Chains A and B, each alone.
Chain A
Amino acid sequence: MLLSFLLAYFGFAALSLSKNRHFQQVWPGQKLLDTTAKILPTLGWTLLVLSSLFIFQGPKVSIAITEFLGILTICALLLILQFAYFPQSVAGIALINSVRKNIASTKSNHQKN
């Protein structure tokens, strides 16, 4: 359940950061690149699917669906509150940070070219 929670959380984080508005809340002044805007949703949805796979390993499908919806609600709530009050904390997550580094490097490459 914890694993599924973490996957769903990162999945939602990736999905939200693929939107310019939220991306700039976390990294003001930086622009979301087209490639990243395309990769992030795919990453997000994949993580969500993975999250659901883990929770559906339980014995009862009906209980798994209930738990999964509850997990999604809480993950979304956490992110919304983070964006509203502590946007920098979304950036503190290692996984997303690595994505950021990629963006930064592609950006600098972009500028060099």
Chain B
Amino acid sequence: MKNGFRQSMAWLHTWTGLVVGWVLFFVFVTGNLGRFDTEIDRWMKPEIAKETASLTQAVGAAQERLQQRAANAETWTIWPATNRDYPNLRIRWETQPMEKAKGSSKQLDERERRVEETLNPETAKPVEARATGGGQLLYKMHYALHYLPRNVTDWLIGICSMFMLVAIISGVVTHKKIFADFFTFRPNKGQRSWLDLHAFLATITLPFFLMITYSGLLFFVFTLFPYPLSSQYGEGRDARETFNNELNEREFSAHASGTQASLASLTALAAVAESRWGVNQIRVIEVSNPNDANARVRFTHLLDSTSRSSEELVFDGVSGNLLGERAAEGSNSRGFYDHLLGLHRGLFGSWVLRWLYFLSGLAGAIIIASGLVLWVVKRNPKQLKQANGPDFGHRLVQVLNVGTIAGLPVAIAAYFLANRLLPIGISGRVDWEVNSLFIVWLAALLYPLARPLNRAWIELFWAAAVAFVLIPFVNAFTTERGFISSVQAQDWIFISFDLVAITTGLLFAYGAIKLTRRENAEALAKPHRRDRKPVSQTPDVQSPDIEVA
């Protein structure tokens, strides 16, 4: 610890930021891609076209399919195609953990319990598409990572977010001239530029940064602070469920009676909901205990405010009578919670706001990256003077920086390429898509051990550039939806995906060229420096002074 409040805060900022920086970079990059989760989903399932069926047709088809496949399920969920978030009719059914049918009771795992399908509303059959994790899996990684159980990742990400919040607040205290330097960025000045970049981006995105971190933490509030909950509700899964039901004010829900009864027509109920809310305003239809005397059908309105909850209508699933409705806003504390979580997700916004969210998140990733690079740049002069090279810790940070900041983008490009290149029928295709992401990232983390640091930056930047530029070409060769046909069909999702991939690739190429130029300039300047200080520099460890794309 240093003396003085600001110095202490600077110390805190440096170390809280460094320790979890790489995880946070991963969280920001994948979470930020989640702003376009649906678009990525659609790109990764090129077989599925956008649908145009009417709600009546869609709901009818969904009921037909669910009745066929899952008459005894615990719940059915139907998402009709409405807006950007719901481009296609999707259904899901969930069975109880113990399957009692057919006499033998067997424990079902998560995948068997929960089945999801994209339906063709005209045939009521599932749409055939390649197996893929899609944008949803990429988005899910930002809070659930991968390969690890949720109870571990909840704590991991929770703790990292807490560090992030501490880093933000101590960073604000540390930054001396917030207003004087508001518009200041001095490029090409080494450490000065890194600090400027870090500070000005953090200043202009501060409201976003604070909101996203704080609300991100709130997602884990019942994990990080379990005791208030367990003191009132007790421990275990049932206690959680009771609590969740009360939190979501699902007061019209009922347990299955065990008596069979035929389910009312969902199409007719949907028409009642539409007459109240207007056309295409149903976000989701949930049926609990279908084909039971206690069946309930719950309609939820599309999101229309920053809150993540919206109006609901609950019907008796047998008689079709309206049991009650719930306003979008509940109690103040729940409203506070729902609005913050809704703000985090940003599903309420137009596409302009979506891009603003994306750019702010991108700035967030650059802030983290520049902070990590700054840590190295600041310590380089002293570390490089040491007789036996930089310390292990310094070297570790350097390697992790290259492997994560330059390596993760390559890995993400690999995920997209794997979607197009893996054989369609291969078993475990979803897993292999994700595996290719992590294998490439691991390789990128090991790469700087084998190469001089500066070369590792440049070569990984080139790898990212090539990988991203390849995406549109691979897409054009492996699907029917290449750039030219997308333009002809005015398919904006595919057009944008290609353009964004090319732009990203070019930015990485620009970064690589800039780094190469700097390396050459330094090589020219070096002989003079060597004359003066014979043992000052090891040639292979230089400041990774790069332009962050």
Residues in A lying within 8 Å of B, measured CB to CB: 1, 12, 16, 19, 21-22, 60, 62-63, 66-67, 69-74, 76-77, 79-81, 83-85
Closest approach, in angstroms, between the C-beta of A95 and any C-beta of chain B?
17
What are 6 A-B contacts with C-beta separation under 8 Å? A12-B183, A22-B184, A77-B204, A80-B185, A81-B185, A84-B187
9 tightest CB-CB pairs across the interface, nearest first?
A70-B356, A62-B306, A76-B204, A84-B185, A16-B183, A69-B207, A73-B204, A80-B185, A84-B187
Measured between alpha carbons, how far is A25 from B352 in the docked complex, in Å? 32
**Nearest chain A residue, comparing its CB with the CB of B304:** A60
State which of B306, B357, B360 has its C-beta within 8 Å of the C-beta of A63: B306
B233 at the A interface (CB under 8 A): no
Contacts of A74 in B (CB 8 A): 356, 359
Let me know if B183 and A70 touch, CB within 8 A: no
Answer whether residue B524 sits at the interface, using C-beta atoms and an 8 A cutoff: no
Interface code B321-345, partner A: CB below 8 Å = 1, 0 otherwise?
0000000000000000001000100
Residues of B within 8 A of A67 (CB): 349, 352-353, 356
Interface centre among B184, B187, B307 (most CB of A within 10 A): B184
Q: Does B205 have its Cβ within 8 Å of any Cβ on chain A?
A: yes
Cα A76 to Cα B351 in complex, Å, equals 20
| CB neighbours of A62 from chain B (8 A) | 305-307, 339
Q: Once the chains bind, are B356 and A63 in contact (CB under 8 Å)?
A: no
A104 to B223, CA, bound (A): 63
In angstroms, Cα B354 to Cα A63, docked, is 12
Interface membership of B517, Cβ < 8 A: no
Q: How long is the Cα–Cα vector from A106 to B360 in the complex, in angstroms?
A: 41
Q: Are B339 and A71 in contact (CB under 8 A)?
A: no
Interface size band for B: 20 to 34
Instruction: List chain A residues, Cβ under 8 A from B339.
Output: 62
Q: A69–B353 Cα gap in the complex (Å)? A: 10
Task: Knowing A21-B184, A67-B349, say if A73 contacts B305 (CB, 8 Å).
Answer: no
B356 touches A71 (CB 8 A): yes
CB nearest neighbor in A for B188: A84
Considering residues B305, B339, B346, which has the most beta carbons from chain A within 10 angstroms of its beta carbon?
A: B305
Q: What residues on A are CB-neighbors of B184 within 8 Å? A: 21-22, 80, 83
Residues of chain A lying within 8 A (CB to CB) of residue B243: none
Residues 178-212 (chain B) with a chain A CB within 8 angstroms = 180, 182-187, 200-201, 203-205, 207-208
Query: Assuming A74-B359, A77-B201, what are 18 further A-B pairs, CB within 8 angstroms?
Result: A12-B183, A16-B183, A21-B184, A22-B184, A62-B306, A62-B307, A66-B349, A66-B353, A67-B349, A67-B353, A69-B207, A69-B208, A70-B360, A73-B359, A76-B182, A76-B183, A77-B359, A81-B185
* CB-CB nearest in chain B for A84: B185
Give CA–CA (A67, B200) in the complex, Å.
20
CB distance from B90 to the nearest CB of A (A): 26
Most buried by A among B186, B187, B204: B204
Q: Is B89 an interface residue (CB 8 A)?
A: no
User: In the complex, are the beta carbons of A73 and B208 less than 8 A apart?
Assistant: yes
